Structure 1
Amino acid sequence: MNFEDARKGLESQPFSVLVGARLVAFGDGEAVIEIDARDDLRQQNGYLHGGVLAYAADNTLTFAAGSVLGPSLLTAGFTIDYVRPAGGNTLRAEARVVQSSGSRATCRCDVYSDGELCAVAQGTAVRRADKRE
């Protein structure tokens, strides 16, 4: 899968469109997704909601895995640790494959808010068993 196909894949996800996610890098076991901070994505204290950070980590992990395994993937699971509140203007999730074999890839993702690390995640993506599109 190339960058353009991956970008179209992201744009076909209604939730990704809702949060305004954009794929800015993809390939060779890596992916980067950015989201502009908006007031409707913030929680009561003015920081980006943890769910937005989790979405960014989850989706970016899976796109990184897709760069080595292909497009028919699902997240098998992931964990996230919030390091500091995300109060900036741009959220950037950077993921890379740590290990892959056959139909499974384990990835790490660092999530930044205006260049400051705000979350660290690790997850696994697997090829889908069914071929529904």
Structure 2
Amino acid sequence: MAAMHKAQDPDFAERVRASFDRQQAMALIGASMAVVEPGYTEIHLPHKAEITQQHGYIHGGVVGMIADSAAGYAASTLTAPETGVLTVEYKLNLLAPAEGDLLIAEGSVLRYGRTLIVTRAEVFAVQHGRKSMCALMQQTIMTVHGKKEHPR
């Protein structure tokens, strides 16, 4: 986990979980938000055939989806209630095939700024109780003001 951060919003966890629940892309792939702490979130994704590629591994694009959301929501835990976040860019290294019963994306904030937030995500594959890193991502987030989230 990254250095400890202080949330501006006392209701950050409820706000972040409600926002995650509005993400239809996460519902589509079967992901859930397991942990929400200041500057840190975890997204869990059980293995299912519908999200695999031709070799049976979870598709790299899906790995990127959960890394992007975990790190983005880590940033969102630190923002004021009326401030949204959008990904500006990310770099994803796929270190090993995403092979396992469960993927865990751990998102954390490296540097929090007024306009830009730098984050990272580590994605682990859990197989037979063993956790191994399969992807590493660094991301830049921008804060947005006055743009409401779409109701589900």
TM-score range, shorter-chain basis?
over 0.9
Alpha-carbon distance in 2 for matches of 1:57, 1:24: 14
Matched letter for residue 78 of structure 2: V
Matched letter for residue 118 of structure 1: C
Alpha-carbon distance in 2 for matches of 1:54, 1:79: 9
Kept in 1, the 8 Å contact 2:12–2:78? The answer is no
The answer on 1:120 being equivalent to 2:130 is: no
Alpha-carbon distance in 1 for matches of 2:56, 2:34: 26
Q: What is the total number of aligned residue pairs between the two structures?
A: 133
Q: Rg bigger for which structure?
A: 2
RMSD, matched Cα:
1.3
Unmatched 5+ residue regions in structure 1? Answer: none
* Equivalent in 22, 30, 47 of residue 40 of structure 2: 30
Q: Deviations over 1:84-116 (max 9, x none)?
A: 001101010001110011122101110001011
- Matched position secondary structure for 2:78: helix
Matched letter for residue 72 of structure 1: G
TM-score (norm. length: structure 2): 0.82
4+ long deviations beyond 6 Å? none
Task: Report what 1:68 is aligned to.
Answer: 78
Unmatched 5+ residue regions in structure 2? Answer: 1-10
Q: Which has a greater percent of helix?
A: 1
Alpha-carbon distance in 1 for matches of 2:54, 2:106: 26
TM-score (norm. length: structure 1): 0.93
**How high is the sequence identity, in percent, across the aligned residues?**
28
